[in-house]
Chains A and B, each alone.
Chain A
């Protein structure tokens, strides 16, 4: 292979904000050979997608390539005319977007959109393209491959759409496909089907690919080589196995290390101990539809109960029931053995104080018009009645506890803080009420891994120091492994299985827990192949069909 398929040299790119250009890619080289899959990883804002699109000679509005060269199969993409590029796009270079639901035109059927590129580029006739589409749908294990193409995008589920989009990218048998976070929006059990489908078809046609993602475990399954980006600059690049076993740069090492944080196991609570929170058989409904069915679990002092499940499993609804925002239809909730009124408006100030909440999106959880100091001071004043000097000192203490120096942060607005810092302020606001029990709703899922790691460590430390109890809602099993004492698995509004963490991660499992656990990608590059062999290839397809019904 003397002649690489894609060659990018010294790429610098700028993005426009407020009428001024600021750099987003600061001199990156990229080489991709025929039939090779390159993984492009980095945190949000690293410039992965921008670089991926630049490999197609395409820039979004408000972005420009200021320096460098991009060549595809010997063609200079930056010098090529719009018409020349148009001839390449879709035919020899294809793109798979993050959100398939938004990237399919709602006004046309899947097959209509599938056939567009081959017909427009003169590769196939309309009939051939449609027949080929059905064939690709079959290869990608879409259910009813002969019929699904006649549906409109909104009639098809997210995981299936993502595979249909991969099929669409394949329609002209391109030399190169750019996958832009194709599985980020999917649940783990769906993600695995899509990953398997993408990998098989790329292998089958020997297509070269750039696979963009922020998930290391995912990229380990897909890529031959991995390139790590940080803030528009390359950190390092190596063969996948080499990168996983022996990362060279500190930043890469730190990314790997995240997965190793593990809390020591705590002794089980005494049998006769009164739980801090006891949820007893709650059933709740939105309107007339029951969304929670007979959910029960206990949370003891100083312990963390992780509630896991995919989107729509009822995790957050359970939290809304406990806080009293959605009074359950049946069942009772006890705090320290005493019954809590189900509606939060009927709870006493002290009962409200004892149950605090930390939110997923720190952006919407903090009032953008109040300073950090005011945000934390309000519960201090409201519950503790502190004023003036005493209040200020208490807020400063709290800021120290969350590792933000009070003199620097007291007067800042939330918009001046990073995502991780905002989440810390959210924690401080909860602590300010001096509660016994805190609900953490997906508190790390919007954060980059390193930052999330910091938050988890902080929460663990605070628990040890203050004896807090946590209900930890998450869909991320790695987080569960690192922080939970007990696990509650939920599906379709009901508890599937619950018990101490050690038991949960040891077989035998409930079949759903098994599916959930085994679907979480691991850093081992052979993980996906092993798993597929284990499950049997047909099994994946069945799971896909089962989800559809």
Chain B
């Protein structure tokens, strides 16, 4: 009911806004403004106002008990603000230093893309130097289990474990850092494998056409008719009868790579087909050039932009699939620390959110780490696609 009243208020405010604008300014902008736009403005103002109101609420009530909703909102706003400032500074840095080409690139870059690049760079750094950065080992079990994050002994924390420990006493921060290495590294390797497989077959099919293309394309059609998560679960069932532990993780890498290679095949074949019909390919064929020259010198250099974008998207997809499998307990196998598994293991902490917001943050951090990387990659890819489509016009 109150929502309905609020909406009506917003609707009236929108109408008033346009009406006053028309009366006061008489500018064509207000005159030709559709009502929907005026309503949109009013709604945006209302939402921002509500956000500010919530932000200004005290984080503790009179009894000193934390108000979890407000605290989470504070964290979200702070995170957003820090992200925006970091992205802005990073872009500024990129515009000032570096080669002429890279400076030009940063000048045209939207903030989201700069943020994406920054995040990807940080992840890569953490993944590579995990062993140096992590305070403890990923499998190390300490006596202090269920330590509350925050490092404040008064609230059940421990300065040795800034993000606390899990149910069996492993340091969450260290596992998060090693998770970058394991989860991201394995997803990256899987994507590379999928690409080598899919792209080479795709270009081969596009160049040779004929029966090679027919056989490969029909096979891919069939494999793609089964939803990929379902198919990987089926194959993992089969694989689990042969291997376990690290072997199962390796089997999963191969399984997902093969399934995703079908998608890469589709794309590279389509990209290849578009290039193959170009007159310069015909000219090269008529010159008598061999298959190797055609693929590596004529086709591949023209396919890098779409393939690079696809690599980003494919990586996100693989990364999410592996995380989902790990979450289900069927992906990356213990003792390797991995974000999907961590979310599953720590998920019970969410229920303490109402009176101990810090405790609930642990599983969300692991899940958020997954989301943040995919968001970042998507931001970069989005910009790349936009740029390449803009250049074509």
Contact = CB atoms under 8 A, between A and B. Distances in A.
A433 B285 CA distance: 14
A364 interface: yes
Nearest to B34: A82
B31 interface: yes
A325 B286 contact: yes
A126 B278 CA distance: 49
Interface in A171-208: none
Contacts of B390: 18
Interface string B267-309: 0000000000011101101111100000000100110000000
Contact of B287 (A18, A82, A352, A370): A352
A436 interface: no
B108 interface: yes
Contact of B288 (A81, A349, A359): A349
A253 B331 CA distance: 75
Given A364-B278, A364-B280, A433 B287 contact: yes
B227 interface: no
A347 B31 CA distance: 71
A389 interface: no
A347 B288 CA distance: 9
A361 interface: yes
Contacts of B282: 325, 357
Q: Which of A324, A349, A364 has the most CB of B within 10 A?
A: A364
Given A18-B390, A81-B32, A352 B283 contact: no
Contact of A369 (B31, B286, B302): B302
A26 interface: no
Nearest to A79: B28
Nearest to A80: B28
Contacts of B32: 81-83
Given A18-B108, A81-B32, A82-B32, A367 B302 contact: yes
A19 B285 CA distance: 40
A283 interface: no
A75 B301 CA distance: 55
B207 to A, nearest CB: 14
Nearest to B299: A367
B287 A361 contact: no
A347 B287 CA distance: 10
Contacts of B108: 18-19
B274 to A, nearest CB: 11
Interface in A80-94: 81-83
Contacts, number: 53
B33 to A, nearest CB: 10
B169 to A, nearest CB: 54
A433 B390 CA distance: 36
B301 A367 contact: yes
Contacts of B280: 364-367
A529 to B, nearest CB: 41
A379 B287 CA distance: 7
A81 B31 contact: yes
B286 to A, nearest CB: 6
A382 B288 contact: yes
A378 interface: yes
Contacts of B283: 357, 359, 365, 429
A482 B285 CA distance: 32
Contact of A352 (B279, B288, B298): B288
Contacts of B279: 359, 361, 364-365
Contacts of B278: 364-365, 367
A131 B288 CA distance: 62
Interface string B243-276: 0000000000000000000000000000000000
A113 to B, nearest CB: 25
Nearest to B303: A369
Contacts of B28: 79, 81
A344 interface: yes
Nearest to A382: B287
Contacts of A383: 287
B286 A382 contact: no
Contacts of A79: 28
Nearest to A383: B287
Contacts of A366: 280
Contacts of B289: 382
A479 interface: no
Nearest to B277: A364
Contacts of A344: 285-286
Contacts of A19: 108
B288 A368 contact: no
Interface string A248-286: 000000000000000000000000000000000000000
A378 B301 contact: no
A323 interface: yes
B302 A357 contact: no
A355 B282 CA distance: 13
Contacts of B301: 367, 369-370
A445 to B, nearest CB: 14
Contacts of A370: 301
B306 to A, nearest CB: 13
A364 B392 CA distance: 13
Interface string B27-71: 010011000000000000000000000000000000000000000
Nearest to A324: B286
Interface string A411-429: 0000000000000000001
B105 to A, nearest CB: 13
A378 B32 CA distance: 59
Q: Which of B31, B279, B301, B390 has the most CB of A within 10 A?
A: B279
Contacts of A359: 279, 283
Nearest to B275: A367
Contacts of A349: 288
B288 to A, nearest CB: 5
A347 B301 CA distance: 28
A366 B390 CA distance: 21
A378 B302 contact: no
A323 B288 CA distance: 12
Nearest to B301: A369
A390 to B, nearest CB: 19
Contacts of A361: 279
A327 B21 CA distance: 71
B287 A367 contact: no
Contact of B298 (A18, A323, A367, A433): A367
Contact of B302 (A323, A368, A379): A368
B32, B108, B282, B301: which has the most chain A beta carbons within 10 Å?
Answer: B282
B286 A352 contact: yes
Interface in B137-176: none
Nearest to B285: A344
B188 to A, nearest CB: 27
A466 B311 CA distance: 50
Contacts of A82: 32
B286 A357 contact: yes
A209 B345 CA distance: 75
B272 to A, nearest CB: 14
- What 4 A-B pairs have minimum CB-CB distances, sorted nearest first? A369-B301, A365-B279, A359-B279, A82-B32
18 contacts: A18-B108, A81-B31, A352-B286, A352-B288, A355-B286, A357-B286, A359-B279, A359-B283, A361-B279, A365-B278, A365-B283, A366-B280, A367-B278, A367-B280, A367-B302, A379-B287, A382-B287, A382-B288
Interface of A: 18-19, 79, 81-83, 323-325, 344, 347, 349, 352, 355, 357, 359, 361, 364-370, 378-379, 382-383, 429, 433
Given A365-B278, A365-B283, A367-B278, 14 more contacts: A18-B108, A83-B32, A344-B286, A352-B287, A357-B282, A357-B283, A364-B278, A367-B280, A367-B302, A368-B302, A369-B301, A370-B301, A382-B287, A382-B289
